[in-house]
């Protein structure tokens, strides 16, 4: 997705948390669906606008952004703990 390529994967765990079905790729629920989707997009391509959506989505998982969010949470916990009796 960081290179603007839609992802075809199974609808479970990690991939299901990052891929937006029909927007940044496709989530298959079983082997047959995965193969059907793969053949369909190999033969017919996919919409060009998906490339930009993939890149936008991937940038939300930038290491700096995630680290900054964790630091905010930790600082918030520290302040909360200081107020405890």
pLDDT digits (tens, 9 = 90+) for 60-72: 888 888 888 888 8
How many distinct structural domains can be found in the chain?
Answer: 1
Q: What is the pLDDT of residues 19-45, one digit of tens each?
A: 999 999 999 999 999 999 999 999 999
Cα-Cα-Cα-Cα dihedral sign, residues 36, 32, 21, 65: negative
Domain range for 39: 7-82
Task: Provide the token pair at 58.
Answer: 């991937």
Q: Does a structural domain hold residue 2? A: no
Please give the model's pTM, rounded to 2 decimal places. Answer: 0.71
Q: Does a structural domain hold residue 40? A: yes
Q: Does a structural domain hold residue 1? A: no
């Amino acid at each position: 997705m960081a290179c603007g390529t839609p992802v075809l994967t199974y609808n479970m765990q990690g991939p299901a948390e990052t891929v937006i079905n029909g927007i940044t790729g496709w989530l298959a629920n079983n082997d047959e669906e995965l193969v059907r989707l793969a053949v369909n997009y190999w033969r017919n391509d996919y919409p060009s606008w998906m490339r930009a959506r993939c890149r936008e989505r991937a940038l939300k998982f930038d290491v700096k952004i995630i680290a900054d969010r964790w630091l905010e949470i930790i600082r918030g916990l520290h302040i909360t703990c200081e107020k405890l009796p």
